[in-house]
Structure 1
Amino acid sequence: MNARKLTRTIQRVVKQAAVAGSVVLGITSSTGAIAQTTGQLAPSYPLITHTPYFSIWSNKDVLTDGSTVHWTGKRQSLIGILKVDDKYYRFMGKEVKAYTTIAPAGDQSANVQVSYTTKQPAANWQEPDASTSDWQTGLLPISDDQKTARTNWNTDDIWIRRTFDYNGADMQGLKIKLRHDDNIVLYLNGHKIYQKEGWQEHFEYSDFNNKLTKYLQKGTNVLAAHVRNTAGGRYFDIGLSRERQSDYNTTIDVAKQKSVKIEAMQTIYQFDCGDVNLAVTFTSPLLLQHLDILTRPISYITYKVSSKDGKKHQAEVYLSASSDIAVNTPDQPVQAMGLKNGSLDLLKVGTVAQPVLGKKGDDVRIDWGYFYVGAAANHTKQSLSSSVMKGISEFLKGGPSASASNTTTLNGKQLSLNTTVNLGTTDASHFATGHMLLGYDEGYAIQYFHTNLRPWWNRDGKGNFPDLMQKAAGDYSAVMGLVQKEDQRIRQELQIAGGEDYARLAILAYRQSIAAHNIVESPQKELLFLSKENFSNGSINTVDLTYPSAPLYLMYNTELLKGMMRGIFYYSESGKWTKPYSAHDLGTYPIANGQTYGEDMPVEEAGNMVILAAAIAKVDGNANFAKKHWKTISIWADYLAKAGFDPANQLCTDDFAGHLARNVNLSAKAIMALRSYGYLAEELGEKATAQKYIALAKSMVPKWMQLADDGDHYTLSFENKGTWSQKYNLVWDKVLDFNIFPQEVYKKEISYYLKRQNRYGVPLDSRKSYTKSDWIMWSATMSADKHTFEQFMRPLIRYISETPSRVPLSDWHDTKDGRQQNFQARSVVGGYYMQAFNYWLHHKK
């Protein structure tokens, strides 16, 4: 939960908000049908969820209202169209406009020359005849990013002039192609056509309310821009394009979305498509107790068409999948190809460069490995096209005469992988059905202490991804049966443990938490389940992400929680980490070569590891896992005994709130860890050690209560009256049956939290109005009864239903306006399962 570079990260989030607020550059093919509005069931809807890199969502309540996106918000387009007899209905995504280049931008050509200066120019600098004799020359793009810049820019201000020729032909569809970072004023032939405070992280196309065609002239034209950097990076690139017109006249209506339902592993949409109903189900079979299926990075899209009028109707479904799913940025060249593998037709795409494990960091996407789309060959036709529009045009004209073959290849950028499946005939007694498979072969997934590791499914290096797709196709019916059964069980367990609201929240968290990890085998032949710290700082295997996410994995498969902890144990036990407390992380995803976070969290991370080792022992019924690492755990426990009760000025997991000395909640963690260590010693037969540490933990409780007492609650830091905080770390006292804190502590705290609750939840502490929803769930679990627990849930239901931040669940939001503060799509929402884990642990047979 790290924010060492928080200022820059917040700037990025503001940028994204600015981009999200701009005009969406898409088209609809309908000539009258309008997509309906629907209630906000979730901030974002999970569609394809496997790893931090293979994760596709819809940020719209209606699936046709926008493009599908990666969890970072970058477009990864899936477009779905249903053909019913001779009519067409778009049920997913938006068509992306295609353009022809008139004057290339720097991302299209390496020779786009400009004049520029970083010194204040003369007053008429933007005029076509202005003198630029003292300006410099350079090439687009201009940036401070050495990986993309052809001209380096590292000052606050830059003034740029670019000339281009236009032949005076038809001006219909002309657009300026522009990307800028930050503020800009843009002129064409001396006339101001655009001004913006803010930035565009992607190219946008615009005629600026017809100002482009108003001031464009035959012959030589001058574009002039003043760009000012105020936050974050620097970037400028510009060109001229013409929007391509579609070459088909067929009307594509917009399917009417009737409902959407989110289960733990499925998102199910229902549509009205004229004479038929269409159900579209996205299934990512993240079965935590079936490792072979869980680690298979393949999702299913299932289509089911039923006749509304009882008559026969022929149905075909078309999917356009963008090659952007296999790139970090859309300007990366890709190669796509068709394949045959047994009973499957497959399309495959990846970057030409294939920089395996070449990028690390937060807001990045994979640009190595290959994305696949597959379907049963006897019902399928597949093709490749240079644009979405071309692919749709081909479908409307009847599709390719035959499916793509092993010899079919296409190179370019932003290609469309097109799959058409004949679903057959539906009537009064028969459904028309079919399915497709979407998969991603990373090749290598993680670098672990300088050894490149393959994904778990191919850990021996002998696997073949088309064969894995074939296996997944053959397992379809069995897997869907398992998923439906497990979805039902998870929902029922959550309802019993916490009620309907709780079930809704926790189900929404299920796929998000799992897909923020990757599973590999270590060189020591052990399973590693490594998280990415999404939209925080990109760390890999962060201990204070493992800690809050743990309840989900404690409940359903402790082997995965062990997989989160093994790398941290290895780091210490190998001698690579020598401090008497746990490391914070193993690096920056996907490179796990050692801690990259700039500051330790001594009490935080040591406490986390000891507590989780005890929780695993409680679930497993033995302390075998702790026994393997007993020497290391003992070193950490000894450190906590000396430094844990009254912590020095240091960071805790909520490091965005800054350093804090004498942190009462952090002290509670140390006490829980020492009691946990005593429990583990008991389980291992070390009676003297157990007695010592259990007595030590118990002796700290009265002193804790005394130093933190503030009448009707306990303080944020010791002897700091008038402050308060959620003491969520105390939940383990209840869950693990330690019971060393008196009930009055919980009653007092829970009562006080509810008095401080705002519209969207209880603040984290007295310093700010923001909160962490995972910690609210832990605090709520300390409630004495279900009614009190449900009082914590209602504001969080409002949050997911009303937040204007349309991103995968943000665990850090403001309790007054419901806006995300930064984080999104993080694994820590697995912590929502604390109430269910507590109930299950005390009621399991």
Structure 2
Amino acid sequence: MTDPRTARAPATPLIVHDPFMSVWSHTDELTQSWPTHWTGKNQSMAGMAHIDGKAYRFMGLVTRTGVDVPAMRQTGREVTPLRTLYRFEADGVALTLTFTTPSFPEDVELMARPASYVDIEVAAIDGKSHTVSAYIDWSTNWVTGNAETDVIWGRHRAGTVEALFVGAREQTPLHQSGDEVQIDWGYLYTSAEPGVAVDSAFGDARTLRDSFAQTGTIPARDDVRDGRPLPLPSHGHRGLNINASGIHQERPAYNVSAWSRDFGAVGSAPQAFRLLVAYDQVYALEYFHRRLRPFWSRKGQSAIGLVEQAWAEREALCARAVAYDDDLVGQLTRAGGDTYARIGILAFRQCLGGHALVADLDGSLLYFSKENSSNGCLGTVDLTYPSAPFFLHFNPALLEAQMRPICAYAAGGAWPFPYAPHDVGQFPLANGQVYGGGELTEHNQMPYEESGNMLILAAALLQRTNDTRFVEEFWPLWEKWARYLVESGIDPENQLCTDDFAGHLPHNTNLSIKAIIGIGAFGKICQRLGKTAEAEKYFAVARDWAAQWPKLADDGAAFRLAFDQAGSWSQKYNLIWDRILGLGLFPAEIARKEVAAYRSRQDRYGLPLDNRAHYTKLDWLVWTACLTGDQADFEELLQPVAAWLDAAPQRVPLSDWFDTQTGKQIGVGGFRSRPVVGGTYIKLMLDSAGP
């Protein structure tokens, strides 16, 4: 039995809030690499302990120009949905480093608060007393990816709360969009526990780190380089780095916000150094050419007010996070075993970290996904669809908040087509679809895909909340999209589906299932709104097509990838919504027949998506494993994923697209850190809903 909390992870979440504030460790040991943004760009943190006059690292690397500091021995690593813990030992002292991000999806105020707690706890483990101090810093590469960029820094206070802040001197919020764009606007805040004696400084990374490594303390002033106070207008001196040997033409170094605490004599009783890191983006998103503040600041709260509030609530939130993690890990394990719990733990923060929450001018929630590592699209419907089980389970209001921008866009006149859009922009600019033909042409659109997705999600939201207001508000859209599917027919033309990496495919049987269930879903919406005649009309179409589908798709032992391709096969993951929505359109025998075939087609690391290639999608694989509702089927189809988690060669945040024979990501860069992994919560959602 593998403890899902201590098992290997392809990458370990440290501080993950949204697509811009998303920092991970990509190595098994925290001292083997710098922490990085999900894109792989350094967002450095250095951590050191000074024990009886000798320095050790517990986080980060040794820079090529700095003092050589050996690593503490890492003795443990534990990841839970909301926390990550590392344990180290050196010279008779144990050190525990804990990252806590209290992003409870049921509580949007806390979920959207961009503040994480970082705790360093030390204790003697050899029965002796030791003199110990601890150090941690945050590099300015959190706020800009260019060492030559001028930055400004300072201190804010609110009573006993003090915070260092830093940001680019020239602030240009929301000036660029894209996939692997790293934020270079807004301000990073770091703070230590109020009322506890600590030291802090802002200055040259090498100087501050070397000072602590050599003395166990940091200079009692800001802006120092090589022990001398210097006016630092930027990260460096325009290419000139000064050290004791003179002037060298070197790349300028990043500055850091540094904190240290002298514990004095440390015995067996643990002593703690508590810190907090937060990010004020100033502006979070542009929504149809209107700039919107981050959700937490929508009512005018200041950044230091955010830090102050986070400190005031720290004890309660950290205790709540521990209890929440224990309960959720237990639920995941009971639902699907250790492998499923491993997936769920890694998917939790990643799913939330792939979204950003804002409020519209009328207070309506707007929640935007980002297509990390694919194309940077924002508010993509076929990201909302796979991640929906997470939000249906934890907080359906967040699913509605993802659907609202698409509906507002489609109803607003700019979207010219009779089917649902693919997206509303490219992160962080929600100004209209950018994928495929955008608003201009029907080239590379996803008509069946997105229309079916929106209808299915609308019915699922209505079923989960029993609240008709949202579906009533956008009634004309559901009617238009359902009519489009009916008029288009059971057999899809040559078009893309959500698995667009596989290219266009005519006669796609799985896409046909989506259209059938989408039409049935619209029937349920009509039924709930008392539109009986329309409900029966659409139910009749869905039932008729569902009766035709097996005859058109049958290939003997299983069902085809495409109606016209004998000998082909594919995962029919869309079929799960027939069960979720209780439509009863497809006989249970279809799922049993499919899954029986799948069990014989597994590769080393999982079931391929279809017969065309040896790759799979993690989200769809978990959905497919749920098709029959049989626990043995689920566990057998999921078991190879444990081997993949143990051996995945790319050390990146959980990939959802990988080779089932080699475990490698597909393509250059590959899919990583995408919010679609929230779809793996479908098993927990189904189990929680009951029979």
SS for the counterpart of 2:70 is strand
CA drift at 1:339: 3.3
Whole-Å separation in 2 of the counterparts to 1:436 and 1:485 = 21
Structure 2 residue aligned with 1:279, among 96, 120, 123?
Answer: 96
Contact 1:96 1:389 in 2 (8 A): no
Letter of the aligned partner of 1:385 in structure 2?
Answer: G
Match in the other structure for 1:664: 509
Instruction: Give a deviation string over 1:15-67, Cα, whole Å, max 9, x none.
Output: xxxxxxxxxxxxxxxxxxxxxxx997111000000010111100000111111
Contact 2:148 2:234 in 1 (8 A): no
Match in the other structure for 2:234: 412
Contact 2:133 2:216 in 1 (8 A): no
Change (3 A) 1:583 1:424: farther
Contact 1:335 1:410 in 2 (8 A): no
Whole-Å separation in 2 of the counterparts to 1:84 and 1:436 = 20
Whole-Å separation in 1 of the counterparts to 2:468 and 2:551 = 34
Match in the other structure for 1:399: 217
Change (3 A) 1:644 1:358: farther
| Matching of residue 77 in structure 1 with residue 44 in structure 2 | yes
Structure 2 residue aligned with 1:738, among 563, 583, 587?
Answer: 583
Whole-Å separation in 1 of the counterparts to 2:110 and 2:686 = 27
Whole-Å separation in 2 of the counterparts to 1:425 and 1:543 = 57
Letter of the aligned partner of 1:823 in structure 2?
Answer: F
| Matching of residue 643 in structure 1 with residue 488 in structure 2 | yes
Letter of the aligned partner of 2:406 in structure 1?
Answer: I
Whole-Å separation in 1 of the counterparts to 2:148 and 2:496 = 40
Structure 2 residue aligned with 1:432, among 271, 295, 299?
Answer: 271
Structure 2 residue aligned with 1:379, among 174, 197, 209?
Answer: 197
Match in the other structure for 2:181: 364
Contact 2:619 2:679 in 1 (8 A): yes
Match in the other structure for 1:95: 62
Match in the other structure for 1:794: 639
Match in the other structure for 2:331: 493
Change (3 A) 1:698 1:354: same
SS for the counterpart of 2:550 is helix
Q: What is the correspondence of 1:317-332 to structure 2 with a 5 Å cutoff? A: 317-332=134-149
Structure 1 residue aligned with 2:392, among 531, 554, 557?
Answer: 554
Whole-Å separation in 1 of the counterparts to 2:479 and 2:470 = 14
Of Structure 1 and Structure 2, the greater strand share is in 1
Letter of the aligned partner of 1:733 in structure 2?
Answer: D
Structure 1 residue aligned with 2:341, among 493, 503, 511?
Answer: 503
Q: Which moved more, 1:310-319 or 1:60-69?
A: 310-319
Contact 2:383 2:676 in 1 (8 A): yes
- Structure 1-normalised TM-score? 0.75
| Matching of residue 467 in structure 1 with residue 305 in structure 2 | yes
Q: What is the correspondence of 1:137-216 to structure 2 with a 5 Å cutoff? A: none
CA drift at 1:329: 3.6
| Matching of residue 836 in structure 1 with residue 668 in structure 2 | no
Whole-Å separation in 1 of the counterparts to 2:173 and 2:569 = 48
Instruction: Give a deviation string over 1:357-385, Cα, whole Å, max 9, x none.
Output: 11110111000001111112532211122
Contact 2:355 2:367 in 1 (8 A): yes
Whole-Å separation in 2 of the counterparts to 1:388 and 1:666 = 56
CA drift at 1:626: 1.4
**Structure 1 unaligned blocks of 5 or more:** 1-37, 98-243
Contact 2:218 2:260 in 1 (8 A): no
Whole-Å separation in 1 of the counterparts to 2:190 and 2:297 = 19
Match in the other structure for 2:459: 614
CA drift at 1:400: 4.0
Alignment RMSD (CA, Å): 2.0
SS for the counterpart of 1:578 is coil
Between structure 1 and structure 2, the one with the greater Rg is 1
Change (3 A) 1:372 1:646: same
Alignment: residue pair count:
653
Structure 1 residue aligned with 2:557, among 699, 704, 712?
Answer: 712
Q: What is the correspondence of 1:49-88 to structure 2 with a 5 Å cutoff? A: 49-88=16-55
Letter of the aligned partner of 1:544 in structure 2?
Answer: D
Letter of the aligned partner of 1:829 in structure 2?
Answer: V
Structure 2 residue aligned with 1:309, among 126, 130, 135?
Answer: 126
Q: What is the correspondence of 1:767-778 to structure 2 with a 5 Å cutoff? A: 767-778=612-623
Match in the other structure for 2:281: 442
Contact 2:33 2:61 in 1 (8 A): yes
| Matching of residue 297 in structure 1 with residue 114 in structure 2 | yes
Instruction: Give a deviation string over 1:680-738, Cα, whole Å, max 9, x none.
Output: 11111111111121121111112110110000110011131011110000001112222
- Structure 2-normalised TM-score? 0.91
Letter of the aligned partner of 1:582 in structure 2?
Answer: A
SS for the counterpart of 1:434 is strand
Whole-Å separation in 1 of the counterparts to 2:221 and 2:338 = 47
Q: What is the correspondence of 1:327-346 to structure 2 with a 5 Å cutoff? A: 327-346=144-163
Contact 2:54 2:213 in 1 (8 A): no
Instruction: Give a deviation string over 1:181-230, Cα, whole Å, max 9, x none.
Output: xxxxxxxxxxxxxxxxxxxxxxxxxxxxxxxxxxxxxxxxxxxxxxxxxx
Whole-Å separation in 1 of the counterparts to 2:6 and 2:61 = 20
CA drift at 1:763: 0.7
Match in the other structure for 1:563: 401
Change (3 A) 1:485 1:423: farther
Change (3 A) 1:783 1:310: farther
Contact 1:323 1:416 in 2 (8 A): yes
Match in the other structure for 1:697: 542
CA drift at 1:394: 4.5
Letter of the aligned partner of 1:284 in structure 2?
Answer: T
Instruction: Give a deviation string over 1:261-289, Cα, whole Å, max 9, x none.
Output: 11001111111122121111111111111
CA drift at 1:612: 0.6
Structure 2 residue aligned with 1:45, among 2, 7, 12?
Answer: 12
Instruction: Give a deviation string over 1:459-510, Cα, whole Å, max 9, x none.
Output: 13x2210111111011110110111111112112211211121111111100
CA drift at 1:403: 6.4
% identical equivalent positions: 39
Contact 1:375 1:421 in 2 (8 A): no
Whole-Å separation in 2 of the counterparts to 1:263 and 1:555 = 18
Contact 2:10 2:653 in 1 (8 A): yes
Match in the other structure for 1:721: 566
Contact 2:6 2:79 in 1 (8 A): no
Whole-Å separation in 2 of the counterparts to 1:87 and 1:603 = 64
CA drift at 1:815: 0.6
SS for the counterpart of 1:763 is coil
CA drift at 1:423: 4.6
Contact 2:185 2:281 in 1 (8 A): yes
Match in the other structure for 1:168: none
Match in the other structure for 1:262: 79
Contact 1:258 1:270 in 2 (8 A): yes
| Matching of residue 539 in structure 1 with residue 384 in structure 2 | no
